[in-house]
């Protein structure tokens, strides 16, 4: 799973939820403070909460690599917490992008060890897919040898943690993501 695909999934899920929820009488709270936007939508059938540019790293359940800095673009951190909660389904995503002066190998080693508390860790240079029965679909790697990005994933399709690491200049850039779904 690459971070662009994750972002597109989040936007699509949030957009679909907003359309569904808009038909039910909506309460929207949007606060913008210095480029930081928080949105809460509550309806009788569910809610959507989005927190962007969070000051602290989102709750991914994984530690932050020592010395890493939240990546910033246009003076905003690349981090968010998204929560969609309805009677029909639920989706929680916590994600942040970091940068470090350390080489990708050191970051991969750190997260490989940290992720073991959640199960076996799959390493992938390519795309992550999930196979198996619904409710227990396990990660599988579809290799793309030419990619410079290495992904670590643990968990199931419904509850996964992903760390994606790639070289950036003399250091690294990496994303830490936690996705949890409920049907």
Predicted confidence at residue 14, as pLDDT, reads 52
Residues 35-54 as b/e (b if ≥16 CB within 10 A, e otherwise) read: eeebbebbbeebbbbbbbbb
Q: Can you read off the two tokens belonging to residue 142?
A: 């579809």
Q: What is the pLDDT of residues 116-133, one digit of tens each?
A: 999 999 999 998 888 766
Arithmetic mean of pLDDT, 149-177: 94
CA-CA-CA-CA dihedral for 46, 133, 6, 100, to nearest 10 = 120
Predicted confidence at residue 11, as pLDDT, reads 47
Torsional sign, CA 37, 47, 7, 94 = positive
- Write the CB contacts of 54 (distance below 8 Å, at least 6 apart in sequence): 36, 77, 79, 80, 81, 96
- Distance from C-alpha of 111 to C-alpha of 162, rounded to nearest angstrom: 10
By CB atoms closer than 10 A (0-12, 13-18, 19+), residue 176 is buried
Q: What is the pLDDT of residues 32-79, one digit of tens each?
A: 665 566 788 888 888 888 887 666 666 888 999 999 998 877 666 678
- Distance from C-alpha of 177 to C-alpha of 118, rounded to nearest angstrom: 13
Q: Which is nearest to 88 in space by CA: 41, 23, 21?
A: 21
- Distance from C-alpha of 59 to C-alpha of 37, rounded to nearest angstrom: 18
Could you tell me if 164 and 150 are in contact, meaning their C-beta atoms sit under 8 angstroms apart? Answer: yes
Q: What is the residue whose two structure tokens read 């643990």? A: 154
């Amino acid at each position: 799973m690459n971070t662009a695909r994750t972002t597109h999934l989040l936007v699509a899920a949030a957009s679909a939820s907003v359309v569904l929820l808009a038909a039910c009488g909506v309460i929207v709270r949007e606060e913008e403070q210095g480029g930081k936007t928080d949105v809460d939508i509550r309806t009788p059938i569910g809610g959507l909460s989005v927190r962007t540019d969070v000051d602290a790293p989102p709750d991914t359940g994984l530690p932050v690599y020592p010395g890493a800095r939240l990546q910033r673009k246009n003076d905003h951190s690349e981090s968010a917490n998204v929560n969609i909660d309805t009677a029909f389904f639920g989706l929680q995503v916590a994600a942040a992008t970091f940068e470090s002066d350390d080489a990708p190998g050191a970051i991969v080693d750190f997260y490989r060890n940290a992720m073991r508390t959640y199960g076996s860790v799959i390493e992938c240079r390519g795309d992550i897919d999930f196979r198996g029965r619904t409710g227990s679909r396990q990660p599988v790697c579809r290799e793309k040898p030419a990619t410079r990005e290495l992904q670590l994933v643990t968990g199931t399709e419904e509850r996964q943690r992903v760390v994606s690491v790639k070289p950036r200049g003399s250091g690294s850039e990496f994303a830490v993501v936690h996705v949890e779904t409920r049907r």
